[in-house]
Chains A and B, each alone.
Chain A
Amino acid sequence: MSATRRDFLASTARLAAGAVLLSVVTTKSSRATPATMEAAIRKVVGAAPLRKGKVTIDVPPLVENGNAVPVTVTVNSPMTATEYVKSIHLFNEKNPQPNVIGVHLGPRAGKAALSTRIKLADAQKIVAVAQLSDGSFWSDDADVIVTIAACVEDLQ
């Protein structure tokens, strides 16, 4: 009798765990995930290897409000006619979609850097990818913790 009960309880627990897992997967699919961010990065990089280096993300580690997070991305490059940064892309892993900004430069830029303010829905990792004129791809990532102002307003 107890063996049957134990089996029954065990199978119910497995079913419950399965149901929980299913619901977690369904809700997560409506937001970017590390996987969709990876896919968005692959769209830019293609099959080329992505190396860490040359790129630096400057973002405060703890942010007062996720609605306007100041970010600066700098790429170490001489920016000459033959050796320059072609593009810089910024990605996120937990907003509803993984892209943030993509900028296209050339030797006329003089300095491969941009500053902007972005929205971050939650504490998450952001990734910057730079494409150089020689076709190579370089990246940097940063973790950001997002707090929120204490008294939140209702939508009016």
Chain B
Amino acid sequence: MTNMLRARSFTSPRLRLRGALILATILAATISARATEIPPAERRSDYEFLGPQTRAMQDDDTANPGMLGVLDGEALWNRRDGEANKSCADCHNDARASMKGVAARYPAYSPTLGRPIDLEARINQCRTEQQKATPLKFESKELLGLTAYIALQSRGMPIDVAADERTQPFIVAGRELFNRRQGQINMSCAQCHDDNWGRKLAGAPVPQGHPNGYPVYRLEWQSLGSLQRRLRNCMSGMRAEPYPYGAPENVDLELYLMSRAKGLKMEAPAVRP
């Protein structure tokens, strides 16, 4: 009799542990349910969370180090390569006309692959299929330069990725990744960038985390870098295992982020801390 009473007592450690677990589960469920997308009227580019000097660096094309990558890209655009000995310009002529608005629509659905691909993968698709050349390595000067040059042609244009029956399943997959708790500290992207944007973390303001500036000259990298590189940084920063370059999870996340940023103007090549 005494044992039963003790087991049911409010101060029993086992009951307290169970109660705590239940509370934690409810909290977790509530938090992930509460993490909703930022409404369009409240969407702000990460630019708005920068100090005035960093903004000035981005605004001046002769002071923005990302523009050095654009120059590389322009040279590559006009360079003949591969067994087909073709340059991008041979098919696409002047990028200022042919590439206008393109980066604002990527990641885009690839009918041949049956899933969305990002701009970097699309450039490599052209290289292998049209130029009959080897694909460019992730984060190589060449791929970053070309991506920056193409993305520049969408500067000032609003993000406009397709959200139709073909892309929707991948946007949903990306949204799930964004909202999923992961890693050693068991946090989700949404907890910082949906729920706590604008607040400070280690002295720096938490931005909404939009991809409208990529490829970006990140001061921390002292070089241009892709959105995939930034996402991998985020995940290792959260003490989670990052997905390898080119993984479909990265592209799903890129697509979701672009759809979450719909309407924001493209800023590539942006400068970020």
Interface residue ranges, A against B (CB under 8 Å): 60, 62-65, 67-68, 70, 117, 147-154
Contacts and interface: CB of A to CB of B under 8 A. Distances in A.
B222 interface: yes
A147 B204 contact: yes
A65 B216 CA distance: 15
A151 B219 contact: no
Given A147-B203, A149-B273, A151-B237, 11 more contacts: A62-B51, A64-B50, A64-B51, A148-B220, A149-B219, A149-B272, A150-B237, A151-B236, A152-B233, A153-B236, A154-B236
B53 A65 contact: no
Contacts, number: 56
A152 B234 CA distance: 8
Given A64-B54, A65-B273, A70-B57, A150 B236 contact: no
Interface of B: 50-54, 56-57, 201-204, 206, 218-222, 233-234, 236-238, 272-273
27 contacts: A60-B51, A60-B53, A62-B203, A64-B51, A64-B54, A64-B219, A65-B273, A67-B219, A67-B222, A68-B57, A70-B53, A70-B56, A117-B57, A147-B202, A147-B203, A148-B204, A149-B218, A149-B273, A150-B201, A150-B202, A150-B237, A151-B236, A153-B220, A153-B221, A153-B233, A153-B236, A153-B237
B146 to A, nearest CB: 21
Contact of A65 (B52, B56, B201, B220): B220
Nearest to A154: B236
